[in-house]
Amino acid sequence: MARAVYLDHASTTPADPEVIAAMLPWYTEGFGNPSTVYSLGLTAADVVQKSRESIAQTIGAQPDEIYFTSGGTESDNWAILGTADAQQKKGRHLITSVIEHHAVLESMEFLEKHGYEVTKVPVDSGGLVDPEDVRKAIRPDTVLVSIMHANNEVGTIEPIAEIGKITREAGVLFHVDAVQTAGKLPLDVTELGVDMLSMSAHKFYGPKGVGLMYLRKRARISPLLHGGGQEKGQRAGTHNVPGIVGMAKALELAKDRMNEDALREGALRDRLWTALQENIEAVHLNGDPVHRLPNNLNVRLDGIEGESMILMLDMQGICVSSGSACTTGSLEPSHVLRALGIPAEHAHGSLRVTLGRATTAEDIDRFMEVFPPIVARLREMSPIWCANCPCKKGN
Amino acid sequence: MYSELVMEHFRNPRNMGVIDDADGIGEVGNPQCGDMMRITIKVKDDVLEDIKFQTLGCGAAVATSSMVTEMAKGKKLDEALEISNKAVAEALGGLPPAKMHCSNLAADGLQAAIKDYRERHPAG
């Protein structure tokens, strides 16, 4: 059996061994609670503060604007629910896009059930938000705009800085889900003009279960988690000290190698896309060909369904994702692909391949060795693949 | 997620393909839902002499299609009509709850094929 080929880095990444090494002492000899006043706790508080400073510097923030959370989902929920609660005197209207992560969309839907109004701006066929649509959607009672930095399924990179200018002029808070871009693209919260930003460590070779929210000083939002007063009373819960240390280390490593990784993964991704077009008929790109994360390829294949592709690739040791209903845990195919104007029957046949640091040219070759026969087999099995259509018999 | 038997049928589907001079054809599901199947049958003396399937869909859709052909082959038409979607799922050792509705339509496909045969051969 060939070695496993992991091509699902948008889903999660393996923690870097250097990250794990940095974390381990904080589980054992440095296990103290940073909220205590004896030296064991103070040492832990000190490393939390150093991590905060390191992360703040990387994203152009002040250390006291970084709040540690359990990950991207918590940060997104907090930004949206916390703003809605704190700003209700100003209004009860929020703006987001149709292709956000479920952590954003479902937080918005929760607010709708509680009497808030939400406007979802559309995207073009590549997944891009038009900043003018955001401008037009802003009302006197708008309290928050939440737009993702890059989409998790198709990798489209949104014009965040332009939207940031608009929200700044309008005096509306701006939250950005940067879960897919942290560690992959340069992030500067001032340049981007954002007030809040969500990150999750496990997406950039850090540990699972830890993330952060950047919250600009002048932005006032309510806490989501209430309790022991940690993080200046804004986010209760004992600090995940090893996780925080690991996240800071992972971001530091990512910053150092960001350009190199992007160029290398981008070249491999382009090579894969060329090979797919040369070796498989009726394969189409989903998403924007230019404004796109360098490690993301999302394609659809006529006449076949995504879960079957994933199961067959898994039998060959290859891990990828799909936007098929069967893989989203619902009856509906990906809301992102549907928002791009892709019909449901085609969205079911989509495949997301996301490369990472460990991806090699051999991995791409291995994928191309295995994948065309899988497509051929599933099309042979398919009642809607044209060659199988009774009307084609005898032609 | 899937039982070993489901995966075994997915890996090695029985009776996959199409009967060119079929006596009956059944098509169920639709591509918008991501699941669709076509069953073709050959009938001799009121018995399912041959049966083949083509399926677009997930692992469960393929495995239930394969299983229903195995259960039905060689049966009298009236016996074959008694095979239910539930019985197919049970024969496979169960399906994940989310798959019970969307991907469990193989018996419907078989019933549609038999109905088609009977409409085309009213005397038979």
The b-or-e profile of A165-177 (16+ CB within 10 A means b, else e) is bbbeebebbbbbb
pLDDT digits (tens, 9 = 90+) for B36-82: 999 999 999 999 999 999 999 999 999 999 999 999 999 999 999 99
Structural domain span for residue A291: 5-11+258-385
Query: Residue A87 sits in a domain of what CATH number?
Result: 3.40.640.10
The pLDDT of residue A394: 39
**Mutation site, B16, B19, B58, B102, interface A, largest A CB count within 10 A:** B58
Count of Cβ atoms closer than 10 Å to residue A278 Cβ: 10
pTM of the model: 0.94
Count of Cβ atoms closer than 10 Å to residue A80 Cβ: 30
Q: Does A44 fall in a domain? A: no
Q: Does A390 fall in a domain? A: no
> Would the CB atoms of A311 and B55 count as touching at under 8 Å?
no
> Would the CB atoms of B54 and A383 count as touching at under 8 Å?
yes
Rounded to a whole number of angstroms, the distance from the CA of B78 to the nearest CA of chain A is 26
Whether the complex's predicted ipTM surpasses the cut of 0.85: yes
Query: Residue B53 sits in a domain of what CATH number?
Result: 3.90.1010.10
pLDDT digits (tens, 9 = 90+) for A322-343: 877 666 556 678 999 999 999 9
Strands (E), chain A: 5-6, 66-69, 93-97, 117-121, 142-148, 173-177, 196-200, 211-215, 283-285, 296-301, 318-319, 350-354
> Would the CB atoms of B37 and A383 count as touching at under 8 Å?
yes
> Would the CB atoms of A326 and B37 count as touching at under 8 Å?
no
Last residue of a domain, one of A206, A236, A266: A236
Does B107 lie at the interface with A, CB-CB under 8 angstroms?
Answer: no
Distance of CA A16 to the CA centre of its chain: 19
> Would the CB atoms of B34 and A382 count as touching at under 8 Å?
no
Q: What is the mean pLDDT of residues A244-260?
A: 97
* Token pair 């918590």: residue: A74
- C-alpha A101/C-alpha A203 separation (Å) is 14
- Of the candidates A315, A324, A383, which has its C-beta nearest B34's C-beta? A324
- Total tally of structural domains belonging to chain B: 1
Q: What is the mean pLDDT of residues B102-119?
A: 92
Distance of CA A136 to the CA centre of its chain: 26
- Total tally of structural domains belonging to chain A: 2
Residue B33 among the catalytic residues = yes
Q: Is B119 exposed, middle or buried (0-12, 13-18, 19+ CB in 10 A)?
A: exposed
- C-alpha A197/C-alpha A216 separation (Å) is 9
Rounded to a whole number of angstroms, the distance from the CA of A121 to the nearest CA of chain B is 25
- C-alpha B124/C-alpha A233 separation (Å) is 80
A183 plus A300 within the same structural domain: no
Query: Residue A360 sits in a domain of what CATH number?
Result: 3.90.1150.10
Count of Cβ atoms closer than 10 Å to residue B3 Cβ: 14
A133 plus A224 within the same structural domain: yes
Residue B102 among the catalytic residues = yes
pLDDT digits (tens, 9 = 90+) for A72-82: 999 999 999 99
